[in-house]
Amino acid sequence: MGHLKRSAALWLATGLLAVVLVPQVAGAVEGAPDWAYGLAHELMSPYCPGRTLAECPSPQAGELRFWILNQAAAGANEQEVREMLAQRYGDVLLAAPRAEGWGLSAYAVPIACLVVGLPIALYAIRRLTGGDGEAADTKVAAPEPRAPASIDPELERQLDRELAEY
């Protein structure tokens, strides 16, 4: 019986705590601008590799999202929040590498492969399909025309009669 009273008291305390804290938490981020909510969808999570901050289910990611909202509600602008996050986490939060230094290779290498590879692929396709300048090894010789086989004259007359009847 004592266990039941303790359990009920615990539930009551939890309910009261929720009633007191939820409005305060909601009020803390009530003044947050729209960019603060969108920022979590743009930044990668330092806690869940390969996921945005908004998609990461970890409690630390939730705290970081809440921190962003609190900073925005306190009056910080988007650039200031981005700078604070960059100082704290570095380039881990970026969805794409910076287009400078070593990160530039993430943009330059695919373009270079396309510029070099496209003409090579077109040349290979043209040779294999026999387009402009057919490849010697892909040519197929046309069959020699054959002389008609000799047909028995009686069979030829019968064929003519049947065709006439038809």
CA pair distance 124, 119, nearest whole angstrom: 9
CA pair distance 67, 59, nearest whole angstrom: 12
Q: What is the pTM of this model?
A: 0.46
CA pair distance 45, 85, nearest whole angstrom: 11
CA pair distance 61, 89, nearest whole angstrom: 13
Q: Is 146 helix (H, G, I), strand (E, B) or coil?
A: coil
What share of the chain has pLDDT > 70, as a percent?
70
User: Per-residue pLDDT tens for 12-24?
Assistant: 545 544 444 444 4
What pLDDT is attached to residue 68? 93
The length of the chain is 166
**Yes or no: domain 25-95 corresponds to CATH 1.10.8:** yes
Q: Where in the chain is the domain with CATH 1.10.8?
A: 25-95
- The stretch 44-57 carries a mean pLDDT of 89
Given a contact cutoff of 8 angstroms between Cβ atoms, the answer to whether 118 and 126 are in contact is: no
